[in-house]
Each structure stands twice: as structure tokens, then as C-alpha cells.
Chains A and B, each alone.
Chain A
Amino acid sequence: MNDLDDLLDRIDTPPLDVAADVARGERALRRRHGWQASAAGLSVAAVAATAVALGGSSPARDSSQAPSFLGGPDAGVHSQQHHQTRARHHDRHRLLTVKQRLRQLNRQLNDPETRTVLQTYRDVLAQHLDPGGTRLGPVNGQLGGTGSFGTKLDWNHGGELMIVAGTAWDRFEGFYGPDVRVTPTTFHGDAARTTTYQGDLIVSVRHPDGTIVTLVASSSFGNNGTSASSLDLTTRQLLAAAADRRIVLPSYLR
């Protein structure tokens, strides 16, 4: 069966970003409890806690050194040996990448520009999509970190409006998926893509400076479990908002 194990080992995994998983969990937790605390402060605390947890240890360590959660009754000797086999395939540079990215994200969260840029995103979206000021929620978190940047906003009291900016199309492949019928188009001369998926509206627009802005409008807010009565948006409206030149990446990502 070694050949099958080798085959499964060839499944490339995305770069490990513990801080991003912690940040997503924190956002879900805050929504769940209705916390009003600053997302940036909590995220920084979460990053710091994670960095401490990872400090001096390796995610690739063998199971004899692994924390207790790995040693449940159903893990068994076979599992232990198998985990050791898996661990050999984690290399040191991946751990360094985790730490580097944690430090980078921490710096970005502390950077006053982060909050300013996200607020600008929110203001631009409000101007295009919510001139009455009743449907778009406040900024309460950050998405991305390396090569992409954005936030999720409450839309129409329970829905979600996500904005993500980056400089490469492949950063946004995940929003469309490999088998989704994407519609290439242009919007006032800018290259653009649009699609719909399960009622969600998804658009991307590439600005002349290379910045690609993606907007995803959904009637439900991800893991929060809330939903809006209606989306009440059009693809054209989203394209216009995404094409707004005031949406730029923070200087540390350009």
C-alpha cells in the first residue's frame, strides 16, 4: 500500500496559516456572542497566543511529542506510526513560513494603514451599494495577509459582502472554483469576471494599476449562520463598486 500512501502524499496542501484560522474562528466567536470588541485587538492577541504556542516547537514533530489531543484511544499504534511517516514530509521551511507569516500579519494588524484602508473599502462600497446607509455593516475584521487583502461586511442585516483585493488572478480562483462557468467581460474598459453561484454574486475587476478587486455578495453570512431576507444587488452595481479606483492595496502589499 506504500504506493497509495505516496500518491496521497502528493496532494499539495495550501501554505499553513494558523493565524488566519484563528482569526476566522475569532470572528465567528464574536458574531456568536455579539461581542463589540475591536477585531484588530483580538486578532493580534490570537496571533500572539498562537505564536507563543508554536514557539520553539515544530508542527512536524512526531506523535510521541505531540500534544495530548493526538493520542485519543482510537489513534492506536498504527496511527502513531503513520503520523510519524507523515511528519517526515513536513519540512523546516514550512514552519519558518508559518512564523514569518505570523510576524508579518502581526505587523500588518498593528499598522494604522490597515484600518484606514479597510474603512475606505467600506466607504466606497457604501457609496455605490448603500447610499441610504442602512444595509452595510461596519468593518470588524480583516481577510488575507499575503498577496491579498480585504474584509467581510454584514449586508442587509444577515447577508455578507466580501471584498478582497490582490494583484494576481490565481488569488481569486478559490472564489470561483475550477468548474464554475466564469464570464469574462469588461467594465468601462477594465478586464472583469462575473459569475453566480447558489444565489451568490461574484465579480472581479482589474484596475489599470494591476489591482484586482473581487466582491462576493451572499444572502448568508458564512459561518455565522445568519441570512438576509434578500440580496437586492445586481452584478452591474458590484462591478461599478469593484472598479472604483479608490480601492487600492495597502502600501505594504503593493
Chain B
Amino acid sequence: MSDRSGFGEYVAARRPLMFRTAFVLCGDPHQAEDLVQQVLTRVYVAWPRIQRMESVDGYVRTMLVNANLDRVRRRRDRVGLEGFDQPSRQVDQDAVLDLREALAGLAPGQRRVVVLRHLWGLSVEETAVELGIAPGTVKSQTADAVSRLRGLLAPQQLEGPRP
């Protein structure tokens, strides 16, 4: 078996962050998990090459973004079979729905900034380089995203106690 040492450690350290990133990008926990699984499978296959890169995190982030773009492009209406009743689906928790709706309300650029600044912890300058935009744009998009999320979720979400 080829050398994939370090992959397990990377997954243990970064998988929760990857999931949150995918969730912010696509707004759905099931699809987020699918994205993470797809990306990690590809990462595993290419791990001997990826682990030698200067920034594994940066490469993985790009893979997540591209995988989500592919998902959006492939998306089309999903249709159930005719002649049956509608399902009784389990309802998600209110908080999850609120968060999902709030994230869905962000523009794609704002989502990407939120991912890089608040999940991956990149600085304004680092975010600007990664997205190929001006630092001032990063700042304005960050401010817009935070303001918009505050408006969509306040007051109960942002001021409520931590579960």
C-alpha cells in the first residue's frame, strides 16, 4: 500500500472545519457531508503529492469550493414518482433552519469571505490574495456579511446561550 501516513491526522484535525466550510458554501448538512467525503476521497488518492505542497489547507479549500460548484452545476429538479402521497418529513431544529436560511441569504462572495476569514482564520490580506480581490473588498464584504447575518439572526441567535 502506498504511503498515506499523515492523512488520518489531517482528517482528525481538519474534518470538522471542512464540514463547516462545506455547510456555509452549500447550506445543507447532508450535501455538506457529501462534499467533504468526495473531497477527502480525492485527497486520499493524491495524498503523496498533496502532502508535499506548501499549503495543504489552501489546496483542500479549493477542492471544496470546486466540488460545490460542480454540485450546483449538476443540480436539477429532483422529482418523486407519481401516484404516491407526499411524505411526512422530519423537521429540523429551528436553530439549524435559521442558520441555514441566514447563510442562504448571503451573496456567494460574502460566503467565501465568511469561510476564509471566520472559519479558516485568514487575515484580510491572505483572504484578498486567495480570492484575487482587493483587501478593501474583503473588508467591505466581511462587514456586509456580518451585518446581514446579524440582521437575519438577531437577537435570539447571536445573543443566546451556547448550547
Contact = CB atoms under 8 A, between A and B. Distances in A.
The answer to whether A binds B is yes
Task: State the majority secondary structure of interface residues on B.
Answer: helix
Interface in B18-45: 19-20, 23-24, 28-31, 33-34, 37-38, 40-45
A111 B17 CA distance: 34
Interface band, chain A: 35 or more
A197 interface: yes
A183 B80 contact: yes
A184 B58 CA distance: 43
Q: Which of B41, B56, B88, B159 has the most CB of A within 10 A?
A: B41
Given A13-B15, A45-B1, A193-B87, A78 B122 contact: yes
Interface in A48-64: 49-50, 53-54, 57, 59, 61
Contact of B122 (A42, A79, A183): A79
Given A79-B121, A181-B79, A7 B157 contact: yes
Contacts of B19: 11, 13-14
Contacts of A11: 19-20, 23-24, 99
Interface in A86-141: 86, 90, 98
Given A24-B40, A193-B87, A49 B12 contact: no
A81 interface: yes
Contacts of B41: 21, 24-25, 28, 222-223
B132 interface: no
Contacts of B144: none
Contacts of A42: 1
Contact of A29 (B23, B45, B150, B153): B45
Nearest to A14: B33
A22 B30 contact: no
A29 B44 contact: yes
B15 A16 contact: yes
A153 to B, nearest CB: 18
A75 interface: yes
A223 B38 contact: yes
A83 B14 CA distance: 10
A75 to B, nearest CB: 7
B17 A86 contact: yes
Interface of B: 1-2, 4-17, 19-20, 23-24, 28-31, 33-34, 37-38, 40-45, 47, 51, 53-58, 74, 76, 78-81, 84-90, 92, 95-96, 99, 114, 117-123, 126, 129-130, 142, 145-146, 149-150, 153, 157-159, 162-163
Interface of A: 1, 3-14, 16, 18, 21-22, 24-26, 28-29, 32, 42, 45-46, 49-50, 53-54, 57, 59, 61, 66-67, 69-70, 72-76, 78-83, 86, 90, 98, 169-170, 173-174, 177-185, 193-198, 222-223, 235
